[in-house]
């Protein structure tokens, strides 16, 4: 018999997923920057089908991967006009709905933003709260790093994120 944790969940019902996203910064100085569910005034945004929130996109991909529900393109692809300019928080909310409908609950997600800008530290708690709320109160942690001048993020040409998710089967 498989032992259960305090919530009655067996270790074998846990699943993990990883997600990655990257976007180039826009040449349009009026393009708004959205990152981790937040608007970043005075920052130039990215070229994207939706709002280009790499942190959110990476989390969605990690959750879809863990649940075996495809990926961001499968669920919110460019062939879906209803997601043109969609907000990251809208995508997170819909991802949470799809994960829940498939019989999973989110244990936690973690995302790391890879970029020179914007500086995330001062808004970390606000970002975690916004994304957690969109995910039905799931634990969310966010960190950031630069690449010391290496690659397209280090050269200031774009922004990337990598996320991991831990979910478990509820039914």
Q: Which domains does the chain have, with CATH numbers?
A: 14-169 (3.30.1330.50)
pLDDT of residue 48: 83
What pLDDT, in 10s, does the model give residues 7-22? Answer: 655 556 999 999 999 9
For residue 136, how many other CB atoms are within 10 A of its CB? 14
pLDDT of residue 1: 43
Got the DSSP string for the chain?
---B-TTS-BGGGEEEEEEEEEEEBPS-TTPEEEETTEEEEEEE-B--SS---HHHHHHHHHHHHHHT---HHHHH-TT-GGGTT--HHHHHHHHHHHHHHTTEEEEEEEEEEE-SSS--GGGHHHHHHHHHHHTTT-EEEEEEE--TT-HHHHTTSEEEEEEEEEEEE--
Beta bridge partners, 141, equal 110
Determine the average pLDDT of the residues in 67-86.
Answer: 85
Q: Residue 33's Cα: distance from chain center in Å? A: 15
What pLDDT, in 10s, does the model give residues 95-153? Answer: 999 999 999 999 999 999 999 999 999 999 999 999 999 999 999 999 999 988 889 89
Give the number of residues written for the chain: 171
């Amino acid at each position: 018999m498989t032992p259960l944790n305090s919530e009655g969940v067996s270790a074998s019902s846990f699943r993990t997923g990883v997600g990655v996203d990257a976007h180039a910064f826009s040449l349009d100085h009026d393009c708004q920057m959205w990152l981790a569910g937040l608007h970043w005034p005075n920052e130039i945004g990215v070229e994207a089908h939706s709002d280009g929130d790499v942190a959110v996109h990476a989390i969605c991909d990690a959750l879809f991967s863990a649940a075996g529900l495809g990926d961001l393109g499968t669920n919110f692809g460019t062939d879906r006009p209803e997601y043109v300019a969609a907000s990251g928080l809208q995508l997170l909310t819909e991802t949470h709905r799809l994960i829940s409908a498939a019989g999973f609950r989110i244990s936690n997600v973690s995302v790391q933003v890879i970029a020179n800008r914007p500086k995330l530290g001062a808004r970390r708690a606000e970002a975690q709260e916004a994304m957690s709320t969109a995910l039905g109160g799931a634990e969310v942690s966010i960190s950031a790093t630069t690449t010391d001048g290496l690659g397209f993020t280090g050269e200031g040409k774009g922004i990337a994120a990598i996320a991991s998710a831990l979910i478990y089967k509820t039914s």
